[in-house]
Amino acid sequence: DPASGCRIEQEGTITAFDALLRSDEFAASQQPEVILRLGGLLSSKALNAWVTSAPALKIGMDPFGSVPDPDAVLNQKLPVDIETFCNQLRSVVDHQAPASWRSGWITAERLAVHAMNAVLAQQLVASEPGVAVDLFTLLDADGILVVSSSMPVRDAEWYSPPRSGLRVLCNRGANGIDGVTSTAVGAALTGAPTALLIGDIAFLHDTNGLIGLMQRQVNLVILVIDNDGGGIFSFLPAHELLETQRFEQLYGTPHGVDLVKIAEAHHIPAERVTTRTGVQAAVAGALTRGGPRIIIVGTDREQNLTVHQQLNLAVSQAIQGLQQ
């Protein structure tokens, strides 16, 4: 989870777990004996399904005493300080997992990341996974990244590279997509260089967070993924079951709003980009100049669905036969 603080740059950090666990062969070959879940829930349906089906002892822990378990899969719930628990666990563990099990994960991670990077390298237009990858790469190690709910947090979870030092924040739970921009403004008020990755619907839900932003003099870059609607719903069965007009009415909900003009109404410098190189240049320039800036990244929902499918297929092909 990018917001866990554990997505660090060292061997054994597995970032491509979602795509890897979509392979039934790989998921079956990498069964654990014990699963420790530190903190809250993950977004990945593939990972949650793997945890649910694994014949393992499952322990959840949370320092605040609330250990969510909506699928009722945990054998034990521990309200403990996670750092203290991990230090004590390390002192009593007297054996390691088989080398083949660990190397299986590390090899699969290397193959998966290489396969996904190859797919993204072919995308001349801006892709939503590519934006997440580039943002993680370009941000300073001492910076803060606020990731919105819906697709941004999933793209960050599924595709972003490990980054030691970068602090990632995300609102999860009943709040949904409300108040995300205001959360990013609050994070930026700490003085750290801050970026926000947010979808267009979430951006529209909290335009009040832009009021007076130029007067705050915070170093905040806002990247808005503008696919003119709710992109996450294209991954649901309804996308294939409903005719296009009905789907757009119920799920896509196109808004047709010029988001650059919203930024300009608040006197915030803004630009719209549609290519990957354009995104990279705009982000790098905004981070250098500092101050509130808004970058609108134009994408297409159907193309976004296709890119995600291509990424998963590339990983599946890359690790095919790995366990033979």
Flag whether 280 is in a domain.
Answer: yes
Flag whether 319 is in a domain.
Answer: no
pLDDT band at residue 174 using 50, 70 and 90 as cut-offs:
low
Instruction: Please state the domain count of the chain.
Output: 2
Cα–Cα distance between 129 and 287 in angstroms, integer? Answer: 20
- The pLDDT tens digits for 204-251 are 999 999 999 999 989 999 999 999 999 999 999 999 999 999 999 999
Can you give the residue range of the structural domain that contains 262?
122-313
**pLDDT score, position 291:** 83
Q: Given 113, 147, 181, which residue is the final one in a domain?
A: 113
Same structural domain for residues 98 and 135?
Answer: no
Same structural domain for residues 159 and 34?
Answer: no
Q: Given 81, 113, 145, which residue is the final one in a domain?
A: 113
Same structural domain for residues 79 and 178?
Answer: no
Helices 128-138, 151-159: axis angle to 10 degrees equals 70
**This prediction's pTM:** 0.92
Same structural domain for residues 274 and 161?
Answer: yes
DSSP 137-196: HHS-TT-EEEE-TTHHHHHHHHHPPP-SS-EEE---STTTTTTHHHHHHHHHTTSS-EEE
Same structural domain for residues 106 and 184?
Answer: no
CATH code where residue 50 lies: 3.40.50.1220
- The pLDDT tens digits for 22-64 are 999 999 999 999 999 998 887 899 999 999 999 999 999 999 8
Mean pLDDT of 260-276: 97
Give 248's DSSP letter: I
Cα–Cα distance between 261 and 271 in angstroms, integer? Answer: 10
Same structural domain for residues 74 and 206?
Answer: no
- The pLDDT tens digits for 84-120 are 999 999 888 877 778 889 999 999 999 999 999 999 9
pLDDT at 173 over 80: no
Same structural domain for residues 158 and 293?
Answer: yes
- The pLDDT tens digits for 183-196 are 999 999 999 999 99
- The pLDDT tens digits for 111-127 are 999 999 999 999 999 99
Flag whether 318 is in a domain.
Answer: no
Flag whether 322 is in a domain.
Answer: no
Q: Is 111:322 a contact under the CB 8 Å cutoff?
A: yes
Q: Given 62, 87, 113, which residue is the final one in a domain?
A: 113
How many helices (H) and strands (E) the chain has is answered by 15, 9
The closest of 89, 176, 130, 159 to 274, measured between CA atoms, is: 130
**pLDDT score, position 95:** 77
**pLDDT score, position 156:** 94
pLDDT band at residue 66 using 50, 70 and 90 as cut-offs:
confident
CATH code where residue 279 lies: 3.40.50.970
Q: What percent of the chain has pLDDT over 90?
A: 78
